Structure 1
Amino acid sequence: MDVSDLARSVIAGDRRALARAITLVESRRDDHRAAARSLLAEVQAAGRQALRIGLSGTPGVGKSTLIESLGLLLTAQGLRVAVLAVDPSSARSGGSILGDKTRMERLSRDPLAFIRPSPSQTQLGGVARRSREAVALCEAAGFDVVLIETVGVGQSETMVAELCDIFVLLLAPAGGDELQGVKRGIMEMADLILVNKADGDLKPAALRTCADYAGALHLLRRRPQDPPGFPKALTVSALADTGLAEAWTEIRNLAAWRQDHGHWANRRAGQARHWFSEEVRQGLLAELNHDPARARMENLGQAVAAGRMTPDAAAAEMLAALAHSTP
């Protein structure tokens, strides 16, 4: 594989090359990791940026349906849209169904859209291990908007906030009250809360839920990256295509304000620093799978299981051994 040729094809907007590039950066093989680093360095020279929008919510809230409706709204305006959908993996087999592309049947046929499902594998936080690199490749390929759909997540899984410029949280009608809204965690990370399924018999419940969360947002500490009125809660219906145009207007207004006031660049710089630290942590964890660290882990694990050592003492010995082996 010629990395330079692949990089040029990605920058030229070749969809097949983009798919191959994402497959390369998701690979765990050592030779592929080296090639992926070279590829990312070359495409970064293009200097392109897209509006990154992270979308999260509990399973069944309608993330895929909303993303398809929003994506069609954006492509109708002539925008190129990339969707990176992360599906949960089996804890037993490691396999994933990767059904989000099947759910977005209309959007997958749109020539201005690109949909890439990826397995979460063992990664926590609602995103895949290499979602950050996939986003960078989509930007280099010239997409205007990158939508990052997480797996169904809960209160504490906020990793997607470190990937995006705007973080949208989807809620279902009657999903909680004001107390639920002021709980720390994912609610603090959201820039925009969308109460989905505001149609038919569920519309009154959606309006009540939206009012509850709007009130709860006023109780949260104001963040420096938010203009007056943000974060805010809105009702939408992905099925009836209502409220999406208003939500998109709010997203654009928030993004423009942050760019004008310097928060956009600061946020991306902070995210780059976060992912540097994350790569170091993941690299250190990977060292535990290689000898002699793996053999020492096994011996200490047996000592703990037999009751000859406490977990804390064994961990301290393991860490001391790693510290001495590090140049």
Structure 2
Amino acid sequence: MTKKSKSSALHNIEGVSQSEITNASSITKIQQKRKAKPSTQELIAQILKGNITALSRAITLIESSNSKHLQQASDIIKGCLQHTNASVRIGITGVPGVGKSTFIEAFGMHLTSIGKKVAVLAVDPSSSLSKGSILGDKTRMEDLVKNENAFIRPSPSGTSLGGVARKTRETIMLCEAAGFDTILIETVGVGQSETAVHSMVDFFLLLKLAGAGDELQGIKRGIIEMADAIAINKADGDNLKAAKLAKVEFNRALHLYPLKDSEWQPKVMLCSALKHEGIEDIWVMIQSYVAHSKANHYFDYNRKEQSKFWLIQTIEDRLKSRFFNHPEIKEALKTQLQLIEDGKTTPFVAAEYLLSLKN
């Protein structure tokens, strides 16, 4: 049967018009086009051109647990490697309610207004019960998400240490290859993710509130030692006086600690993300830090030390994954869990037994 006779036959079917046949054909072609997945080299080429769709596809491959996707993601990262490191990486953390999303939007809009290309990697907390994640950062950053010089990628934290998305570091590298010169990483802000984020950024900004008891948290040694600066947000209206008092207290606390390896004295700033006040001053301060750390060579030294850390971290993650995905271990683990439940063994004895199976 010829194409013409096929068309005529379809046209003779009751209730099917010629226009519907044409539309159906167009839809089929679109669907076939969508199903055609770009090759690794095509993705690399498009990422280097700054194509956001290609960048998003590659990040999805990075976040996938599929072994085939993992290999392709690895190849993409290798292809983009020589185009990375040309950015300033800024970690932003703070307790829930401190206004991280509002601050990041205001900060990102300021940066794009002065010609910067900004990528926001916002890590959303995953439920320990349902494993679900809201991923609502795009809805909270309505203006920034529409900005052509900004890219927002919310990722579920999953079960990784401290709530940091498992492949955030690789995502940073792809964003740099795509031409983003300022990378903002928002942490979950529940007190556990700071260490992991600190190990992948150049500058660590801690957002605080005044007048809500939050200034007392400044005495906690761990977080205050990691911070390169503290920004007291919502310093406006009736809260301005309390914010100024909190600034004094934080400055006192910061001077109790020894000088950082970068030889940088952490600053305390006031800002109101809602009113866009103090945002420009924070960026000027970050630029000052970058210039300072590059002048004394700490910037490059820190990046190299971070790469060494992530080498060890990656090996540990891979070993853990291979161990638990081994068929023999999977079956033996079920047995040992049941023995623990029945009170016939201890967690330590069971662990020793499982580990011995791989020796």
| TM-score interval for Structure 1 and Structure 2 normalised by the shorter chain | over 0.9
Alignment partners' CA distance in 2, 1:91 and 1:47: 34
> Which residue of the other structure, out of 287, 291, 302, is the alignment partner of 1:256?
291
Distance 1:132 1:156, change over 3 A: closer
Q: Which residue of 1 aligns with 2:341?
A: 305
Which letter maps to 2:357? A
Which letter maps to 1:264? F
Instruction: Kindly state the Cα deviation for residue 247 of structure 1 after the two structures are TM-superposed.
Output: 0.9
Alignment partners' CA distance in 1, 2:256 and 2:274: 31
Alignment partners' CA distance in 2, 1:197 and 1:5: 45
Q: Contact 1:178–1:216 (CA<8 Å) still a contact in 2? A: no
Instruction: Kindly state the Cα deviation for residue 48 of structure 1 after the two structures are TM-superposed.
Output: 4.6
Higher share in helix: 2
> Which residue of the other structure, out of 243, 248, 255, is the alignment partner of 2:278?
243
Segments of 5+ residues of structure 1 without an aligned counterpart are none
Q: Which residue of 2 aligns with 1:268?
A: 303
TM-score, reference length from structure 2: 0.85
Which letter maps to 2:286? I
State the Cα deviation string for residues 231-275 of structure 1 (Å, max 9, x = none): 121111101111111111110110111111111111111111111
Q: Contact 1:214–1:232 (CA<8 Å) still a contact in 2? A: yes
> Which residue of the other structure, out of 242, 245, 249, is the alignment partner of 1:205?
242
Alignment partners' CA distance in 2, 1:84 and 1:249: 22
**SS, match of residue 18 in structure 1:** helix
Q: How does 1:269-288 map to 2 (within 5 A)?
A: 269-286=304-321, 287-288=323-324
Alignment partners' CA distance in 1, 2:232 and 2:262: 23
- The question of 1:131 aligning with 2:205 is answered no
Q: Contact 1:53–1:146 (CA<8 Å) still a contact in 2? A: yes
Instruction: Kindly state the Cα deviation for residue 175 of structure 1 after the two structures are TM-superposed.
Output: 4.6
Q: Contact 1:155–1:187 (CA<8 Å) still a contact in 2? A: no
Alignment partners' CA distance in 2, 1:125 and 1:303: 30
Instruction: Kindly state the Cα deviation for residue 156 of structure 1 after the two structures are TM-superposed.
Output: 6.8
Q: Which residue of 2 aligns with 1:83?
A: 120
Which letter maps to 1:197? K
Instruction: Kindly state the Cα deviation for residue 303 of structure 1 after the two structures are TM-superposed.
Output: 2.2
Alignment partners' CA distance in 1, 2:193 and 2:57: 33
Distance 1:251 1:57, change over 3 A: same
Q: Which residue of 2 aligns with 1:159?
A: 196
Q: Which residue of 1 aligns with 2:211?
A: 174
- The question of 1:192 aligning with 2:242 is answered no
**SS, match of residue 114 in structure 1:** strand
Q: Which residue of 1 aligns with 2:75?
A: 38
Q: Contact 2:163–2:193 (CA<8 Å) still a contact in 1? A: no
Distance 1:119 1:177, change over 3 A: closer
Q: Which residue of 2 aligns with 1:291?
A: 327
State the Cα deviation string for residues 142-197 of structure 1 (Å, max 9, x = none): 11101111113226742110111001011111354776323232221111111100
Segments of 5+ residues of structure 2 without an aligned counterpart are 1-37
Q: Contact 1:156–1:185 (CA<8 Å) still a contact in 2? A: no
- The question of 1:98 aligning with 2:124 is answered no
Alignment partners' CA distance in 2, 1:252 and 1:73: 14
Q: Contact 1:176–1:209 (CA<8 Å) still a contact in 2? A: no
CA RMSD of aligned residues (A): 1.7
- Name the larger-Rg structure: 2
Q: Contact 1:156–1:186 (CA<8 Å) still a contact in 2? A: no
Instruction: Kindly state the Cα deviation for residue 298 of structure 1 after the two structures are TM-superposed.
Output: 2.0
Q: Which deviates the most, 170-179 or 44-53?
A: 170-179
**SS, match of residue 45 in structure 1:** helix
Q: Would you identify which runs of 4 or more consecutive aligned residues in structure 1 move more than 6 Å?
A: none
State the Cα deviation string for residues 87-138 of structure 1 (Å, max 9, x = none): 1112222221211111111111111111111111112323211111111111
Q: Contact 1:48–1:142 (CA<8 Å) still a contact in 2? A: no
Alignment partners' CA distance in 1, 2:189 and 2:83: 33
Alignment partners' CA distance in 2, 1:215 and 1:248: 23
Q: Contact 2:208–2:215 (CA<8 Å) still a contact in 1? A: no
Q: Contact 2:84–2:174 (CA<8 Å) still a contact in 1? A: no
- The question of 1:55 aligning with 2:89 is answered no
Which letter maps to 2:256? L
Q: Contact 1:179–1:216 (CA<8 Å) still a contact in 2? A: no
Q: Which deviates the most, 101-110 or 294-303?
A: 294-303
Instruction: Kindly state the Cα deviation for residue 289 of structure 1 after the two structures are TM-superposed.
Output: 3.2
- The question of 1:320 aligning with 2:350 is answered no
Alignment partners' CA distance in 1, 2:43 and 2:123: 24
Q: Which residue of 1 aligns with 2:60?
A: 23
Q: Contact 1:182–1:220 (CA<8 Å) still a contact in 2? A: no
**SS, match of residue 53 in structure 1:** strand
Q: Contact 2:162–2:192 (CA<8 Å) still a contact in 1? A: no
Q: Contact 2:55–2:178 (CA<8 Å) still a contact in 1? A: yes
